[in-house]
A and B are shown apart, each in its own frame.
Chain A
Amino acid sequence: MIPNYYEFLNSVKILSGKKALENIPYELKYLGAKRPIILADKMLVKVGLVDHLLNAFKGSDIVIGALYADIPQDSSVKVVNEIAEVYRSQECDSIIAIGGGSVIDTAKGLNIVISEETDDLLKVMGAEILTKKQQPFIAIPTTSGTGSEATLVAVIADKDRNVKMEFTSYRILPDVAVLDPRMTVSLPVNMTAATGMDALVHAIESYTSIQKNPLSDAYAFAAINLIREYLPKVIENGKDEEGRLAMANASLMAGAAFSNAMVGVIHAIGHALGGVSRVPHGVAMSILLPFGIEFNMDKLAYAYGELLLPIAGAEIYASTKAEERPRKAVEAIRIMTKNLKEKAGLPLNLSEVGVKKEDFEQIAKTALNDGALIFNAKEVTYEDIIDILEKAY
């Protein structure tokens, strides 16, 4: 089905494979840059991932203007402004972000501050309102993942004003995304599972969003196929480089899908769980996925039936009657999450992660004001969210 109207953009150049990092100096030159700032977090420096990146510059004439490795788990405007000062004082001309979603989002925030020439991100908060050309920006994800290396969204918290600022703009897409298997081989098994499920939910929700289109569907379908095949492999053997690269690709493709089709109720509630009850995002996605699908089933059964193919594989798809496929898709997801519980300790219920029932009201109110909700095909009310939380408890 072709939508009445859609827009699609994925302008990110993707470098994927062995020694991909070593092409970064060339890409910087291609972008007209020669003095990048590198953003990372302390853990990545500790485990040596930043060293891989720094070594990639050896033999080039690129001078690194600064390395900022103090980025906390959640992006904040205070950190963004601090880095902007470093960027300006060190006369940097480009940005390299190596890390997970919070590092890449911080880099996007930095790019907005520098390029829009503002010190107040609140003034440019919103959807599609950025007007200035951004600085050259290379993203190197170290999880598989948020897909932030291919998305037009950044979320930055202003803790002083107690506001979570959302920026949606094609302009904040990175110029280059670098998928190097060295970046994820040391990811612990529980994080591998959680971030893998995050990517899966991106793909599934984008496939069923009101913004879906043929191109985002193609990315989503391909991403789910890869996750089905390779997530179990990298859970068994984290050193499987082919598997890690496949998952990195899946995460990027799922990111590209949701960048162009957005997500829905699972993400809206997941964000609220993160904000109110500090549930890690990937864990929340994994727990909520089957319940979110069941909630949407009366409107989206046809889509979930189609998704049985990449979720469970060709044999199960072909041997399942058409009317049974939506239910079978949920079953396949429950089998997947049970396996991840056994192999990687990924929780199955909200009660396992310390969510309190007395917080349900706050979670539901927060979820109601999450931008993801508008893209859910089925209307979601406060009572619906409470119901989902009860079932997922």
Chain B
Amino acid sequence: MSRKYQQIVPGTKFWKRAISSLVFWFLGRAIRAAVRLDPIVREEFNSWNDSATIILKINDFGPALGLQKQGEKLIKINAKKAVTGDLVIYFKNVDTAVLILLGQFGVADGFAQHRFLVKGDIGFSLSFVRILYIVEDYLFPSFITKKILKQKPKKGSSRLKIYLATLLGIN
């Protein structure tokens, strides 16, 4: 009897987890660069409460990104150690997280399709999403942003500056 019925332990999706981790790392830097260099993003950021914390995570055990406003700066925090956040965006699974993170479909569509949960104030989440739209427009080429953004957002800096700041970690 015990040989006939064995438990099935699901494996991991190593490459999707790895890609998500990498994109989170890059995205975190890009958001921080945009807060520093783009006055439009800055204005949005300034409306947040001090120590406002944002966590993006993929289910309970996947990769995560944590950001926190500290005074004038947006710093990276250890998302896995953070107890909670003012805003937690929780992707239901790594497959759809990868699709959104790689620009296969947009944040608005992702939310409409129930691909992620949102814990926290919806108004604050919209403010963060407006910043995300701008950062996506910096990072992705136009053939992708045409698909994932309803409209090209107004930006206050250049793609080159944001990319350089992201790659060099200037934030």
- Could you tell me which A residues sit within 8 Å of B by CB distance? 3-7, 125-129, 163-166, 209-211, 262, 368-371, 373-375, 377-379
**Contact at B122–A7, with CB atoms within 8 Å?**
no
Complex A-B, nearest 6 residue pairs according to Cβ-Cβ distance, in ascending order = A369-B123, A379-B151, A379-B150, A371-B122, A211-B112, A126-B119
* Residue count of chain B within 8 Å CB distance of chain A: 25
In angstroms, Cα B120 to Cα A209, docked, is 23
Closest chain B residue to A169, Cβ basis: B117
Number of A-B contacts (CB under 8 A): 70
Cβ of A373: which chain B residues have Cβ within 8 Å of it?
126
B82 on the A face (CB < 8 A): no
Complex CA–CA separation, A167 to B114 (angstroms): 14
Cα(A344)–Cα(B150), bound, Å: 39
- Tell me the complex Cα distance, A299–B88, Å: 32
Residues A129 and B121 in contact in the complex (CB < 8 Å), given A374-B126, A375-B112 = no
Shortest Cβ distance from residue A172 to the other chain B in the assembled complex, whole angstroms: 14
Q: How far, in Å, is A10 (CB) from chain B's closest CB?
A: 15
Chain A residues contacting B150 (CB-CB under 8 Å) are: 377-379
With beta carbons under 8 angstroms apart, the residue of A3, A166, A369 that contacts B127 is: A369
Known: A369-B127, A377-B150. A126 touches B118 (CB 8 A): yes
Q: Are B126 and A127 in contact (CB under 8 A)?
A: no
Q: Say whether chain B's binding surface is mostly helix, strand, loop, or mixed.
A: mixed
For residue B6, CB closer than 8 A to chain A, the reply is: no
**Do most interface residues of chain A lie in helix, strand or loop, or is the interface mixed?**
loop
Q: Is the CB of B123 within 8 A of A129?
A: no
Q: Which residues of B contact A6 (CB under 8 A)?
A: 113
Other-chain residue from A3, A126, A128, A211 in contact with B120 (beta carbon distance below 8 A):
A126
Smallest CB separation, A267 vs chain B (Å): 13
Q: How far is the CB of B110 from chain A (nearest CB, A)?
A: 10
**Chain A hits for B112, CB < 8 A:** 209-211, 262, 374-375
Option from B108, B120, B151 in Cβ contact (under 8 Å) with A125: B120
Asked whether A127 and B117 contact (CB < 8 A) given A210-B108, A210-B112, the answer is yes
Min Cβ gap A363→B in Å is 14
Query: A369 contacts which chain B residues (CB < 8 A)?
Result: 122-124, 126-127
Separation of A209 and B112 alpha carbons in the complex (Å): 9
For B127, what are the chain A residues with a Cβ–Cβ distance below 8 Å? 369
- Of B105, B119, B129, the residue contacting A374 (CB under 8 A) is B129
Q: Is the CB of A374 within 8 A of B121?
A: no
